[in-house]
Chain A
Amino acid sequence: METTQQTESKIIELKPFTDEMVVNMGPQHPSTHGVLRLELILDGEVVREAIPHIGYLHRCFEKHSENLSYPQIIPFTDRMDYVAAMNQNWGFCLAVEKLMAADEKKDFAVPERAEYLRVLICELNRIASHLLSFGTYGMDTGAVTPFFYAFRDRERLLLLFEKICGARLTYNYIRIGGVSEIIHMEPGSLDEQNFLDEVKDFLDYFEPKIDEYNDLLTSNSIFSERTMGVAVMSAEMALSYGATGPNLRGSGVDWDLRRDEPYSIYDRFDFEVPVAKDIPELGAVVGDCWSRYKVRMDEMKESVRIVRQILAEGLPDGPVMADLKAVRPPKGEIYFRSEAPRGELGFYIVSDGTPKPVRLKGRSPCFSALSALQELSRGLMVADIIAIIGSIDIVMGEVDR
């Protein structure tokens, strides 16, 4: 009896789980895309919980706007998503224009030429933004070379932007009622022809490059191992978290504001909306990191298509700025959303009839998409966290505003 008791007491219980370790990833970290801080609770390499802390880039955009007139706010929107600043300008201007159009006393329309310029430049900006996303995603997964290719091509785009508005990053190009006329391009002039030729050169150069990048990174087997089937965001989850744009389409929801709620002149163009699909022979699942990434790659092709249609039509004649005396929207409020590269960019404006808004809220696509990170990352590995952050493609300037 005694011996059995002794042997029994010697049984050591094996505890397979070790202590949890809390690690701060960020705000200074090579791949948190800015100043995102993640509080990681790790069990070895496995992430128990990843709690995002944001606000490190909070610049009181909304508070500032309450003390500025509408045209003065446009440069602030540049600083929201600085990677796709044209689209931010546009989103804001569209919201103000819609609110102003509600005022029946004023007859006001954005000139045709300005609309074409806006679509042209914003689609190019979308390519630039997706290129950055592609490059940094490669870097996040450990492949450094795609980053340099992406930046090489983005550089050409930035030079085009510089030609048309004089700035490379924060453009302040799209204004309420049209586009900026700082660099004057006479309709039908040699300047305009040169610019359009350069855009065409870029498209001819860039379109085959997308396939090259797909060969280099998208179909790389290590890359697909790393991203396929990782962090699957179902369509319901994406909708519930307010994930929009490529993230939503990556989850298999066929939804694009440019097609489904056409604003500006998008209804005149012929383009497809890339939506993720299951690819069982490769292992891709709808809603995984790879799908979100792939939607962006395909979207670049569609943007090229839209720009080509504009080039084929040529820019219409006429002014680029509506005849506006003053920007003074009527009393009321509006929420307007447009399709920015990172998703649905909404501006909620409350106006009391004065030249300054009472309340301006920027509904940023990254803000909503980032809130899904905590649920997506549960139970994955540290390396997967990086893959998720890269695939939902956040810009902290927009998250924190």
Chain B
Amino acid sequence: MNPEEIYKTLTDKFGESILGFDTELAGDPIIQIVPAAIADVCQYLAETDTLAFDSLMCLSGVDLGAKEEELFVVYHLYAMQHRHSVVLKVSVPKGDAHLPSVSRIWKTADWHEREAYDLYGILFEGHTDLRRILLPDDWEGYPLRKDYKEPDLYRGMRVPY
């Protein structure tokens, strides 16, 4: 199936939760989804035989700029069996960034979500072990956000060099 057909299947199934199909920009076409529905959509994508998305290639948080109101979470999925891929995109407000976790569906999402939480401060509901992964546990702030200001000191050590 190509992304367009997948988009059609998803709109038939989920209706309002699928926000749009974005093909205008260069690169892969993107299916936009309501944050609250992402886990259900992913479950459907993974467990339907005609889709069978058995691997989550990448899960990334995205912040497009300091003035933007939203953060994005992008899911790159691939199905070994049918050899088709799809890109899902979810936008969450910066102030209250939370969405359901997909770590139940693909175990690799566990660490990728922890990384997104670590660097963007996006909370994944239903994640069993949402801790910082790359940064120290007591680090403050979320460094990959565009409005991030690095602290002057970390445990008495100077941070900017």
Residues of A at the B interface (CB closer than 8 Å) are 54-55, 58, 60, 62-63, 66, 98-99, 102-103, 236-237, 239-242, 253, 255, 260, 329-335, 337, 344, 346, 348, 350-352, 358-359, 361, 363, 367-368, 370-372, 375, 400-401
Contact = CB atoms under 8 A, between A and B. Distances in A.
11 contacts: A99-B26, A242-B57, A242-B107, A333-B30, A337-B57, A344-B57, A350-B64, A358-B65, A359-B62, A368-B112, A370-B111
A335 B135 contact: no
B26 A334 contact: yes
A179 to B, nearest CB: 24
Interface in B109-158: 110-112, 119, 132-136, 143-144
Contact of B26 (A58, A103, A368, A371): A103
Nearest to B119: A62
Given A240-B106, A371-B111, A99 B27 contact: yes
B17 interface: no
Given A241-B108, A371-B107, A361 B58 contact: yes
B28 A55 contact: no
Nearest to B135: A55
A331 B80 contact: no
Contacts of B51: none
B108 A368 contact: yes
A242 B27 CA distance: 23
Contacts of B133: 54-55
B144 A63 contact: yes
Contacts of A240: 54-55, 106-108
A334 B64 contact: no
Chain A interface helix/strand/loop/mixed: mixed
Interface in B42-81: 54-58, 60, 62-65, 74, 76, 80
Contacts of B134: 54-55, 58, 400-401
A260 B78 CA distance: 13
Contacts of B56: 242
B55 A334 contact: no
A242 B28 contact: no
A368 B54 contact: no
Q: List 5 A-B pairs, minimum CB-CB distance, nearest first.
A: A332-B26, A242-B108, A102-B26, A332-B25, A334-B27
A241 B107 contact: yes
B58 A363 contact: yes
B57 A331 contact: no
A242 B80 CA distance: 12
B83 A260 contact: yes
B108 A335 contact: no
Contact of B143 (A63, A99, A255): A63
B87 interface: yes
B108 A371 contact: yes
Contacts of A237: 107
A281 B83 CA distance: 35
A358 B60 contact: no
Contacts of B63: 359
Nearest to A332: B26
Contact of A335 (B58, B80, B132, B144): B58
Contacts of A344: 57
A371 B110 contact: yes
Given A58-B135, A352-B64, A371-B110, A363 B57 contact: yes
Contacts of B83: 260
Contact of A348 (B25, B58, B132, B144): B58
Given A240-B54, A333-B74, A334-B26, 8 more contacts: A55-B135, A66-B144, A241-B107, A335-B27, A350-B62, A370-B111, A371-B107, A371-B110
Contacts of A329: 26
Given A333-B25, A334-B27, A346 B58 contact: yes
Given A62-B119, A63-B143, A331-B26, A358 B64 contact: yes
B3 to A, nearest CB: 13
Nearest to B46: A240
Contacts of A372: 107
A253 B87 CA distance: 23
Contacts of A260: 83
Nearest to A361: B60
A348 B60 contact: yes
Contacts of A60: 143
Contact of A255 (B62, B80, B87): B80
